[in-house]
Structure 1
Amino acid sequence: MGNRMAFKCRQLSLYTGGMRKPTGWPMLKRFFLILLFISLAPLANAQDATKVERLANLLHLQPMFDVMRQEGITYGDDLDREMLGGAGGIGWQRAINEIYQPDRIWLTFLPAFKSGLKGADIDAMIAFFESDTGAKIAALELEARQALLDKTIENASKERFHALSEEGSERMRLLNELVDANDLVEFNVMSALNASYAFYTGMIQGRAFDPAPSDADVLKEVWAQEEEIRLDSTEWLYSYMLLAYEPLSDDDLRAYINFSASKAGRALNAALFAAYDGVTVNVSKALGLTAAQFMHGEDL
């Protein structure tokens, strides 16, 4: 799971903290990783490109974007309510739909993913996810992400995480190994901090602050929220894993840990993180700029 969780369980939190901000500015949470614009880096080997597309199908990456779009629309509704007082209207909905447009997202993500896998053992990745265990894991991960669109299920999963953490169960020990195999918490925190900084940048460019904070002020504010971001990301990550892997035997989970810790597994995780992190920064900035423009009454 280490490699795939990089992209599927990234819950990015954007915070404003104590910086001078417009009236009604909330503490923003739960920006789910979605993609927008990214430079397209061609993959030199056409055969490898075909393999990457085959791998993407095995991982159910494209259907995952449909789930992420639903998450993004919900997040946009939260921003409208918390930052615009619910006054965004049709123009805001149109802007959010454009940012989370799934076809564009896919067409911008895939070339970056391909580029990140240059020189990697793609055959080993395909072999694992074509196995019975790998295929089952891929399907369960998609199903869990879909299930977490239901707040009741998400809250119940979080409660289970806290309960099992206190008990020190064997399942939690295995999940800890899975997380450690690819530094999933650290990658999530890093991406959340990057996204938060990008969101501020968009807000500043949109003239949301008067006076505009310095870059040093923004960095200080972002880093001040590191601990809370870490707690929030860890909770969501483990809650998701508990839900996704509940049907798996310990042997199945051990097989996933072994793959995640392998050279191929770590390469896959790194490629996913690199592709998603880069585009998440762009999306965060776009959201910040769009929100600032609407706060000024500039219906896009």
Structure 2
Amino acid sequence: MLRLTVALWLALAGAALAGPEADTTLRLIHIDAQMQIARQEGLDHAETLNADMLGGQGGALWHSQVDGIYDVPRMVEGARAPIEAIDTATLERLNLFLGSDLGQRISDLELAARTAMMDPDSEKAARRAYAALQGSDDSRVKAARSIIDAGDLVERNVGTAMTASLQFYRALVDGGAYDMTDEDIMTEVWSQEEELRTDTEEWLMGYLLLLMQPLDADDRATYVAFMQTPEAGRLNAALFEGFGTVYSDLTYALGRVLALNLKTLGDGGQEL
């Protein structure tokens, strides 16, 4: 499952005026590196689809198609508009913190934690760490919960994932690989909601605990306080809007090329 995780760093005045400050914001949150992670997650997911749905017969054409879908510069451009639409004064205040020593340290830790969570063993360890602390008075758990609540991260991630899943099924239908009505698709997508919400909360808590391991109590308190500001809320909403659009486009494109490959193989085609 593709994930969209926006804590602090993943977390609309005229675009022309906001442009320079928006460029700084995007640089400070390491948007290129974030999209590179999203690309790798997409490529990994495509490998799973090849094994599970194409019998490992995707071949060179499948890999070329997938590589073209997960184009980092195009993904970055797809997420820019909501950030550019934030007013300049808000972006200036955001950039003061994002560009601080602590801001950049947390940004680096966010990237490191995201990368670590791509490894199944590291993800299991992070989930176990959360399970061991769940329900306790541990200050790290409280900080992680505060960050999730401030950004409404569980609901936003669940909504983004369900929209992407909806687009994926629609692409398979539009591509002629599946025969499903819109009602069938909605029923299938909504059947995943409860499990998805539980999984998302566990993943986010494990991820945030991993991210915050090197931070002391004062740094964690500052992190939480920033996430609770209106400025951080604006950034968080803009990032979910931008990343949500990107993920929907990516999953639809992936579904269409999967449908093409399924039909080709089903028609007796050899390895592509």
TM-score by length of 1: 0.81
Q: Out of 159, 169, 172, which is 1:200 matched to?
A: 169
Secondary structure, aligned partner of 1:297: helix
Shift in Å, 1:100: 0.7
Q: Please tell me whether residue 32 in structure 1 is matched to residue 6 in structure 2.
A: no
In structure 2, give the amino acid aligned to 1:31: L
d(CA) in 2 for partners of 1:204, 1:257: 43
Q: Which consecutive unaligned segments of at least 5 residues does structure 1 have?
A: 1-29, 35-40
Contact 2:168 2:254 in 1 (8 A): yes
**Cα shift readout 1:237-266 (whole Å, capped 9, x = no counterpart):** 112111111111122111121111111010
Q: Please tell me whether residue 81 in structure 1 is matched to residue 57 in structure 2.
A: no
* Counterpart in the other structure of 1:172: 141
**Cα shift readout 1:252-294 (whole Å, capped 9, x = no counterpart):** 1111211111110100001001111122111111111111111
**Cα shift readout 1:132-190 (whole Å, capped 9, x = no counterpart):** 22121111111212222332222211111111115442211111111111111010111
d(CA) in 2 for partners of 1:290, 1:161: 38
* Counterpart in the other structure of 1:56: 26
Q: Please tell me whether residue 103 in structure 1 is matched to residue 73 in structure 2.
A: yes
In structure 1, give the amino acid aligned to 2:2: F
**Cα shift readout 1:193-246 (whole Å, capped 9, x = no counterpart):** 11111111101101122xx22212211221121101101211221121111111
Secondary structure, aligned partner of 2:22: helix
d(CA) in 1 for partners of 2:208, 2:195: 20
Contact 1:120 1:264 in 2 (8 A): no
Q: Out of 124, 134, 137, which is 2:103 matched to?
A: 134
- Pairing of 1:98-247 with structure 2 (within 5 A): 98-115=68-85, 117-118=86-87, 121-209=90-178, 212-247=179-214
Distance change >3 Å, CA 268–CA 247, structure 1 → 2: same
**Cα shift readout 1:92-126 (whole Å, capped 9, x = no counterpart):** 111111111112212332234313x2466111110
Contact 2:133 2:141 in 1 (8 A): yes
Contact 1:113 1:272 in 2 (8 A): yes
Q: Which consecutive unaligned segments of at least 5 residues does structure 2 have?
A: 6-11, 266-270
Contact 2:176 2:259 in 1 (8 A): yes
In structure 1, give the amino acid aligned to 2:254: L
d(CA) in 2 for partners of 1:33, 1:270: 13
- Pairing of 1:267-282 with structure 2 (within 5 A): 267-282=234-249
Shift in Å, 1:295: 0.5
d(CA) in 1 for partners of 2:83, 2:99: 19
The structure whose residues are more often helix, as a share, is: 2
d(CA) in 2 for partners of 1:243, 1:159: 11
* Counterpart in the other structure of 2:8: none
Contact 1:80 1:87 in 2 (8 A): yes
* Counterpart in the other structure of 1:91: 61
* Counterpart in the other structure of 1:289: 256
d(CA) in 1 for partners of 2:15, 2:65: 37
Contact 2:3 2:157 in 1 (8 A): no
d(CA) in 2 for partners of 1:93, 1:166: 44
Contact 1:64 1:142 in 2 (8 A): yes
More deviation in 177-186 or 214-223?
A: 214-223
Distance change >3 Å, CA 120–CA 180, structure 1 → 2: farther
Shift in Å, 1:45: 4.3
Shift in Å, 1:46: 3.1
TM-score by length of 2: 0.89
More deviation in 51-60 or 147-156?
A: 147-156
In structure 2, give the amino acid aligned to 1:75: H
Distance change >3 Å, CA 86–CA 208, structure 1 → 2: same
More deviation in 118-127 or 180-189?
A: 118-127
Contact 1:32 1:72 in 2 (8 A): no
